[in-house]
Structure 1
Amino acid sequence: MARDYRNTARLTRAERVATVLSELQREVEHTGNAQDKARRRAILRGMRIAAWLLVDARPSMREVTTQFRCELFDLPAPVMPADDDD
Structure 2
Amino acid sequence: MNMDFIDISLIEGFNVPMDFSPTFNGCTRDIRCTEDINGQCPAQLKAPGGCNNPCTVFKTDKYSCNSGNCGPTEYSRFF
Query: Shorter-normalised TM-score: what interval?
Result: under 0.3
Normalising to structure 2: TM-score of the pair?
0.28
Pick the structure with more strand per residue: 2
Normalising to structure 1: TM-score of the pair?
0.26
Pick the structure with more helix per residue: 1
Instruction: Using CA pairs under 8 Å that are at least 6 residues apart, name the structure with larger relative contact order, 1 or 2.
Output: 2
Higher Cα Rg, which structure: 2
